[in-house]
Structure 1
Amino acid sequence: MKVFPLYEGSYSVDISKKFIPFDPAMHDYKDRPGSLFVYVQPFLIETSSHLIVIDTGLGFKTESGELLIHENIKKAGYHPDDVDLVLMSHLHFDHSAGMVYEQGGKWQLSFPHAEYVINRGEWESAYSNPSKSYRTEIFDIVQRSGSVNFIEGNGRLNDQVTYELTGGHCEFHQVFLIEDGAEKVFFGGDILPEPEQLLRKFKAKYDFDPTRAMELRDHYGKLAAENNWFCLFYHAKSQATGRVELKGDAFKIVEGDKL
């Protein structure tokens, strides 16, 4: 199994939910009052049976007009058309906008040969509870494609991918465990978005259920340490992947870009 972080950059985002590129070397934090500062990186995973994208990023394009996630996949040595599974932890804009893209005035799937795996409750919630965090016009394009596989609760997608409904960050957030031979890769989405959230306990105001989210971070951190999972951190500042160790009551992240 091979894992590739598809780094899309760092951004500031405020109550408007607009993601504005932010480079600490060039910009000043005081110029973005009331903003969160986030890093965005989907992941590409090659298993013995599938080429998988987990969450799809912001859907931004390069200066040449190419979808950024496409460029990053090509840099990793693959082609976007070869992706056959797209696993979505949830549908907030920074995780889902890259599901589709516009070219020549026409909107289309970013991964035309892939099955898009989405929690049914998350999909329905996006339409029934209007929010700036969701862009349903993106979902309309995916739905018309007929490529969606709606899943619910906990279960096994195939012989390599299992999923669990967690809630916490949003009501129908889900996480994935990918197993291929002896290797196990865990993607926690925004339940475990960066290593720092394991190293200190806190309740985040941006979570749907802050207490639940905090408890889940501890839960999955312990499982990761116990089972030697290789963890992927979607919003990590510098350490996109790693394994977790538990020393007494304290977590430690062992950095590593290789399984």
Structure 2
Amino acid sequence: MNIYALGEGSFSVDSTKKFVPFNPLTDSPTDRKGSIFIHVQPFLLKTEHDLILMDAGLGFKNPNGELMLHDNIRNAGFEPEDVTLILMSHLHYDHTGGLVVERNGRMEPSFPDAEHIIQRGEWEFAFSGKSSSYRQPIFEVLQQSVNVTLVEGSGNFRNGITYELTGGHCPFHQVFKIESAGEIYFFGGDVLPEPEQLIRKFAAKYDFDGKKSMELRERFGKQAAEENWICCFYHAKNLAIGKVTDNNGFSVKTLDS
């Protein structure tokens, strides 16, 4: 398989927007009242031309002080230095924390040689200071140290990679479709974050435009079923990679089912 889910773990988030590790086997949700619970799954895709990282997680470290994201990439059979392209759906902290790593009290880019693909409006909004969902120091490190390519609107990037400005979850959210080795991979970021949101129709209150996100999920679900996409669900609890079927209602199955 050429697609890998790099599960970082489960977390609770309260009104302070601080992410606290949560173990469903030992921790009780009732002890964290007022919190929502999310799962974080960046993805790694090997194509004929690139090793692609799709969003970057929170940037938690393992007990040895190493970035979990780097460890997960090695567990998939690659080195962090092998990553050539990073596709960012948007720049909220739970998607960007792993783009930098703290070493000896200094923040450094986690993938200094990779090209980072970001929607221009999202990049500019991240620097505006208008939302606590963004961590500006991350973007300052990137601005100074890595190759950031700012795209606008929707279009073709290269080598079978297309991007679409969707809005919905945040004003400048984008999704990606990658064609490689006869397969179509779809990364919907937080517009299509988990299978359950595709299966159940609802407008999420945490979205910038919940109604639009709901409509986008419907559209992408139908396309995924018709065109046999491999879908990557960033906030999936269990089924992070799957294919969609539409038989008077959506369902998602593993690739080998």
Instruction: Name the TM-score, length of structure 1 as normaliser.
Output: 0.97
Q: Following superposition of structure 1 onto structure 2, how do residues 1-259 of structure 1 map, counting pairs within 5 Å?
A: 2-248=2-248, 250-256=249-255
Letter of the aligned partner of 2:253 in structure 1?
Answer: V
> Structure 1 residues 257, 89: closer, same or farther in 2, change over 3 A?
farther
Letter of the aligned partner of 1:55 in structure 2?
Answer: D
Distance 1:65 1:126 in 2: 28
Residues 241 and 257 in structure 1, CA contact (< 8 A), matched pair in contact too = no
Report the Cα offset of residue 251 of structure 1: 0.4
Greater alpha carbon shift after TM alignment, 3-12 vs 124-133: 124-133
Structure 1: gaps of 5 or more residues: none
Q: Secondary structure of the residue that 1:142 maps to in structure 2?
A: helix
Q: Secondary structure of the residue that 1:128 maps to in structure 2?
A: coil
Letter of the aligned partner of 1:227 in structure 2?
Answer: E
Residues 53 and 85 in structure 1, CA contact (< 8 A), matched pair in contact too = yes
Residues 51 and 84 in structure 1, CA contact (< 8 A), matched pair in contact too = yes
Residues 101 and 109 in structure 2, CA contact (< 8 A), matched pair in contact too = yes
> Structure 1 residues 146, 6: closer, same or farther in 2, change over 3 A?
closer
Report the Cα offset of residue 105 of structure 1: 2.4
Distance 2:244 2:170 in 1: 24
Letter of the aligned partner of 1:65 in structure 2?
Answer: G
Distance 2:167 2:140 in 1: 24
Percent identical: 55
Distance 2:130 2:31 in 1: 29
Distance 2:224 2:33 in 1: 36
Q: Secondary structure of the residue that 2:112 maps to in structure 1?
A: coil
Letter of the aligned partner of 1:169 in structure 2?
Answer: H
Report the Cα offset of residue 146 of structure 1: 4.1
Distance 1:171 1:193 in 2: 16
Residues 16 and 132 in structure 1, CA contact (< 8 A), matched pair in contact too = no
Residues 115 and 149 in structure 1, CA contact (< 8 A), matched pair in contact too = yes
> Structure 1 residues 73, 152: closer, same or farther in 2, change over 3 A?
same
Q: Secondary structure of the residue that 2:127 maps to in structure 1?
A: helix
- CA offsets per residue over residues 3-59 of structure 1, 9 Å max, x none? 010000000001111000111211111111111100001001100110010000001
- CA offsets per residue over residues 73-104 of structure 1, 9 Å max, x none? 00111000010000000000000111111112
Distance 1:75 1:257 in 2: 21
Structure 1 runs of 4+ off > 4 angstroms? none
Letter of the aligned partner of 2:254 in structure 1?
Answer: E
Letter of the aligned partner of 1:251 in structure 2?
Answer: F
Report the Cα offset of residue 180 of structure 1: 1.0
Q: Secondary structure of the residue that 1:190 maps to in structure 2?
A: coil
Letter of the aligned partner of 1:43 in structure 2?
Answer: F
Residues 47 and 181 in structure 2, CA contact (< 8 A), matched pair in contact too = no
